[in-house]
Chains A and B, each alone.
Chain A
């Protein structure tokens, strides 16, 4: 579960944190789109490496590294299964590329979620003309990620005390052991959702049509700069993907 940490907002003072969420949204979207445009090891590595300075300037490199370590099992799983089951000519190369793509996708979104407070996200969506109810639901979902994490740990503790050995046994047993964790987690979440809904309604959620907002987001020069840089990057990448043949070293594949 530790890899979820990378999608969790951390309060910090940094250049990336101070950017407008809308420009960061564009940035994350661009980075994600580029990772989806290419499926070769070298270009994907370049994208991934390019994101590391961004994480560093958001002061979250260590957190990211820790999460990626938590992901390593899943990545290994993806690589093994894809290599065994894939029908492409050099499956190992292909599955490595897929794994890097997943990392790149996660990282691009983590830059956004690590640095945007749920309230800011809601405000950004509202100012992008999303209806308040939807924006609020979105920010609530983000707000409950850490709660869900804590709950997951509490459940694991409870099951461990009943003799469930989460880190022992073969793969099959480990997969079976997820059931005693997942079921209570879902039930607890549903129960909480119902009670949150009730408490919101009892406090008059949705009572007035026209809401006003205390804090409005404002685009500054650097936000425009990030926005246009992202846009430029996106357009260039699409152009390259469609019309420019990549040089041979970029298409490098492993021999098997």
Chain B
């Protein structure tokens, strides 16, 4: 469980990146953090594994104040997957790259080897184990970076823009993998602009703007709120747009829809066919 209490943070003492953010994320939740560029999303998740320390307020991870834990200790609980995989890859094989983090965080060489093999298999990267990360494509590097974190089996997984540069197929695969992890009681937090990805996979959304949380609640309610969409400069999900358009012509269709199945039901109702 992650508890963030009224944290403030400024990088340079002039511009405030976070101004009083409070939230609580329970074990086993799937949460999306959305918002404009510069809203403080990445700054917020960096507080969860101690890379940044709040200048005011506190962060509590699994009942312990993060203040008393080192980054390495916190990283065993909260795994961060970065936007740019090139910022962390430096070894000459994918396998070594994955084992590097494991050994740093205290896994024995045998355990590291075992975890590595398992993770590669789970992500369908077996074929790349001995390849150099630098020779891989952008999307593959991104998955390797993900593997380096997944292998450590953190209880909380926080991903920064995981869908950028991934094709539809890879996105689906990522989603099913995240759902799978979530089923095994892992908390999944994702920072993204990808509205469709959030709607399909994350029941809860936290919307941020200017270092503050502007909305925190069920994804369908947050993303159908025009005010929130406007303030966070998010494009409304296609489903919402479709629902609104339908609502104009067929008032019986609710204006707010969140799931594809709801839309299907509504449309079948209009057409008078039994779904």
Q: Which residues of B contact A159 (CB under 8 A)?
A: 88
A155 to B82, CA, bound (A): 10
Query: Would A187 and B104 be within 8 Å (CB), given that A157-B51, A162-B75, A165-B72 are in contact?
Result: no
Bitwise interface map of A from 124 to 156 toward B, beta carbon under 8 Å scored 1, else 0: 000000000000000000000000000100110
Chain B residues with CB under 8 Å of A154's CB are 82, 84, 87
Interface residue? B220 (CB, 8 A): no
State whether A191 touches B71 (Cβ < 8 A): no
Report if B90 contacts A (CB, 8 A): yes
The answer to whether B105 has its CB under 8 Å from any CB of chain A is yes
Q: Which residue of A lies closest to B70 (CB)?
A: A165
Q: Cβ of B46 and Cβ of A187 under 8 Å apart?
A: no
Q: Which residues of B contact A165 (CB under 8 A)?
A: 70-72
Write out, one digit per residue, whether chain B residues 100-123 have a CB within 8 A of any chain A CB (1) or not (0).
110011100000000000000000
Q: Give every chain A residue within 8 A of B51 (Cβ-Cβ).
A: 157, 160-161
Q: Mark A176-212, 1 if CB is under 8 A from B, else 0.
A: 0001100110011001000000000000000000000
A238 CB–B CB distance under 8 Å: no
Chain B positions within 8 Å of A158 at CB level: 82, 87-88
How distant is A228 from chain B, measured CB to nearest CB, in Å? 40
What residue of chain A has the Cβ atom nearest to residue B82's Cβ? Answer: A158
Interface residues on B, range: 20 to 34
Q: Is the CB of B87 within 8 A of A162?
A: no
CB of A245 closer than 8 Å to a CB of B: no
- Shortest CB-to-CB span from B115 to chain A, Å, is 14
A188 nearest in chain B by CB position: B86
Distance of A155 Cα from B90 Cα, bound (Å) = 10
Q: Does B148 contact A (CB under 8 A)?
A: yes
Quick check: A161 and B80 within 8 Å, CB to CB?
yes
Is A163 positioned at the interface, with any CB of B under 8 Å from its CB?
A: yes
Contact of B86 among A157, A160, A164, A187 (CB under 8 A): A187
CA distance A163 to B106 in the complex (A): 9
Contact across chains for B134 and A187 when beta carbons are under 8 A apart: yes
Determine the distance from Cα of A234 to Cα of B51 in the docked complex, in whole angstroms. 49
- Chain A nearest CB from B71 CB (Å) reads 5
**Partner pick for A162 among B46, B84, B101, CB 8 A cutoff:** B101
How far, in angstroms, from A159 to B89 measured CA to CA in the complex?
A: 9
Nearest chain B CB to A5 CB, angstrom units: 13
Contact A163 B105 (CB under 8 A): yes
Candidate in B71, B79, B90, B104 with the most chain A CB atoms within 10 angstroms: B90
In the bound complex, residues from chain A placing their C-beta under 8 Å from that of B79 are 161
Q: Which 5 A-B pairs have the closest CB atoms?
A: A163-B104, A183-B90, A162-B101, A158-B88, A158-B87
Of the A-B pairs whose beta carbons lie under 8 Å apart in the complex, a sample of 15, sorted by A's number, is A157-B87, A158-B88, A160-B51, A161-B49, A161-B82, A162-B88, A162-B105, A162-B148, A163-B72, A165-B71, A165-B72, A180-B90, A184-B87, A184-B90, A191-B86
Given A154-B84, A163-B101, 20 more A-B residue pairs with CB atoms under 8 Å apart are A157-B87, A159-B88, A160-B51, A160-B72, A161-B51, A161-B79, A161-B80, A162-B75, A162-B101, A162-B105, A162-B148, A163-B72, A163-B104, A163-B105, A180-B88, A180-B100, A184-B86, A184-B87, A188-B87, A191-B86
Residues of B whose CB lies within 8 Å of any CB of A are: 46, 49, 51, 70-72, 75, 79-80, 82, 84, 86-90, 100-101, 104-106, 134, 148-149
